[in-house]
Chain A
Amino acid sequence: MGLLSKKDLKLITDPLADNNPITIQVLGICSALAITAELKASIVMSIAVLFVMGLGNLTISLMRNIIPPKIRIIVQLIVVATLVIIVDLVLKAFAYELSKTLSVFVGLIITNCIIMGRFEAFALANGPFRSFIDGIGNALGYAVILIIVGFFRELLGSGTLLGFKVLGDPIEKTGVYAFGYENNGFMLLAPMALITVGIIIWVQRSRNTSLIEDN
């Protein structure tokens, strides 16, 4: 890694595990849960957030010295909203079906706390390059959780991955269905997303005991 110094590399690797935006910083949960019933939707959502976070952090960091502190929230919202409109229009043009599945949750990237949180906590105080790296890192941390949750919910809920029937055909009883396996339709419903994230937090914190909260 000649391009990145050790300090910069840490900005990318930290949010992946020990300082994960979803499980540790408690940011950006709203959209993370609602769209994870399919792996494909979670991957697309991750890419959208990656784009918005990277460019948004970069823009805010470039403007950080000319934004009056009193109206910074509105400036931040306008920057994010512009980027999200671009994402929304691109999705509508090239993946219309998927944009229907994501429905209002693309728009909700604007109020995704992960983005505002990183603007406030990092981009307003650091240079453009480091802010860009930080945005990418946090978006990747967000993506990891989204993809894990999406993977398990789609696999256990409908027996497919990205639409491919990896477990066999439930109607013609091939693959594991021949042995009496049934899809757990409950995994597709909203509450299971919360419980899946709860279990991820459980696993993560029992492996890394320094993250345990007092109460």
Chain B
Amino acid sequence: MEHIELFFKSIFVDNMVFATFLGMCSYLAVSKKVSTAVGLGAAVIFVMAITVPLNWLLDQYILQEGALKWLGEEYATYDLSFLSFIMFIATIATMVQLVEIIVEKFAPALYNSLGIFLPLIAVNCAILGGSLFMQSREIASLDLAFNYGISSGIGFFLAILTIAAIREKIRYSNVPAPLRGLGITFIITGLMAIGFMSFGGMLTGGDVEETAEETTIVTTPTENNTIEVSKEETIKLANNEKEIIE
């Protein structure tokens, strides 16, 4: 159940592109044709499925506070989490290089179709973002991390495929000249993101708080809180008065 929830949540509710804007650069640059978009999307799923679990292991056994306990009790106080950026990006860059070499050797057909996209992926924000979100959301186990990697990749795949299809069609439409190309793509992506927000109601509990944390500004909730507090206080005071009168 946990797996299914995380799977659909990462694809639809916390979609890489529409909810957190990760991988925007390649999303905009490589979405002119459906065929190239499919290639990049597949490469992202592939690399994320490898790097997120790998970084989970790194985070769990080297970087976290107290993670070095397996080396002996005297290492239990070390906290290396400030190194996570450099460790994660190094893992991603080497894994991408390694995957490229292996795929070239054993699956030349796949290599030819993914080819140019693999090196690009090392600097794709979605990949690093996946690992960083995995860390900050404190994903509990290795198989959940694997699931999170694959499903976030599928979310990116879905996003880039739909925008590429729309861009192929929009070529025949009469878009206002200054909006052509980049401008209209931004606005379409915005509208698609609004559409994806409707998936927020798909899963209840948990995710509502998270999105609120990311998007709302701090001032408004505090104001509401103070009002609630003051209401409570007045009610209490009124009760106290009653008691006194009684």
Contacts and interface: CB of A to CB of B under 8 A. Distances in A.
B138 to A, nearest CB: 13
A78 B88 CA distance: 11
Report whether over half of chain B's contact residues are helix, strand or loop; otherwise say mixed.
Answer: helix
A198 B93 contact: no
Contacts of A26: 25, 28-29, 182
A73 B122 contact: yes
Q: How large is the interface on A (under 10, 10 to 19, 20 to 34, 35 or more residues)?
A: 35 or more
Interface stretch (B54-62, B128-136, B236-244): B128-136
Interface stretch (B38-46, B104-112, B142-150, B213-221): B213-221
A126 B171 CA distance: 38
B123 A116 contact: yes
Interface string B184-226: 1011011101100100000000000000001111111001000
Q: Main SS of the interface on chain A? A: helix
A131 to B, nearest CB: 19
Interface stretch (A10-18, A58-66, A154-162): A154-162
B189 A194 contact: yes
B32 to A, nearest CB: 9
Contacts, number: 169
Contact of B181 (A78, A82, A213): A213
Contact of B82 (A88, A103, A113, A205): A88
Contact of B220 (A30, A81, A158): A158
Task: Sort A-B residue pairs by CB-CB distance and give the 3 closest, nearest first.
Answer: A213-B181, A198-B186, A194-B190
Interface of B: 18-25, 28-29, 82-86, 89-90, 93-94, 119, 122-125, 127-129, 132-133, 136, 171, 176-184, 186-187, 189-191, 193-194, 197, 214-220, 223, 227
Interface of A: 23, 26-31, 33-34, 37-38, 73-74, 77-78, 81-82, 84-85, 88-89, 97, 101, 103-104, 107-108, 110-113, 116, 154, 157-158, 160, 163, 171, 188-195, 197-199, 201-206, 209, 212-215
